[in-house]
């Protein structure tokens, strides 16, 4: 009887350990975007809203959420701009398209920005 109880306890411990590992594996940690380095990033180009940043601008809705290097918050949408100022015409020809684009993440006083290199934008179909 004692051996049977020990075997059942061992099986329960193994089952609990296996399910805990599954839960951890299901939610990988978010990656932090590198700051001031050339990176490739994918997402959909969209027109920004007044809610996030005042004025007319374009933004990149990321394919996968990431962590901002500016304030360690989760980022799903990054305003496109040059030298920290939003640019309403930046990548406007790709509006509504999913793209891969090369550029740099910067942290001006107004929040996170992505400065793309317009020569390195590729639509993803």
Give the pLDDT confidence of 45-68 residue by residue, as tens digits: 998 765 555 667 889 999 999 999
Residue 54 C-alpha from the chain's centroid: 22
pLDDT attached to residue 76: 93
The CB density around residue 90, as the number of other CB atoms within 10 Å, is: 21
Residue 54: φ, ψ to 5°? -65, 145
Where is 19: in which H helix or E strand?
helix 2-26
DSSP letters, 54-113, are SSS-EEEEEEEEEE-TTTS-EEEEEEEEETTEE-TTTTGGGTT-EEEEEEEEE--TT--E
pLDDT value at 19 more than 50: no
Considering all CA atoms of the chain, what is the largest pairwise distance in Å, rounded to the nearest integer? 77
Structure pTM?
A: 0.70
| Paired residues of 45 in beta bridges | 60
């Amino acid at each position: 009887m004692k051996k049977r109880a020990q075997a059942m306890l061992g099986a329960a411990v193994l089952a609990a350990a296996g399910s805990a590992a599954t839960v951890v594996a299901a939610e990988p940690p978010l990656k932090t975007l590198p700051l001031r380095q050339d990176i490739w990033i994918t997402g959909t180009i969209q027109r920004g809203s007044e809610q996030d940043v005042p004025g007319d601008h374009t933004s990149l809705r990321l394919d996968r959420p990431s962590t901002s290097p500016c304030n360690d918050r989760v980022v799903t949408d990054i305003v496109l701009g040059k030298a920290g100022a939003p640019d309403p015409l930046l990548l406007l020809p790709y509006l509504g398209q999913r793209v891969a684009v090369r550029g740099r993440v910067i942290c001006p006083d107004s929040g996170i920005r992505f400065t793309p290199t317009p020569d390195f934008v590729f639509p993803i179909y």
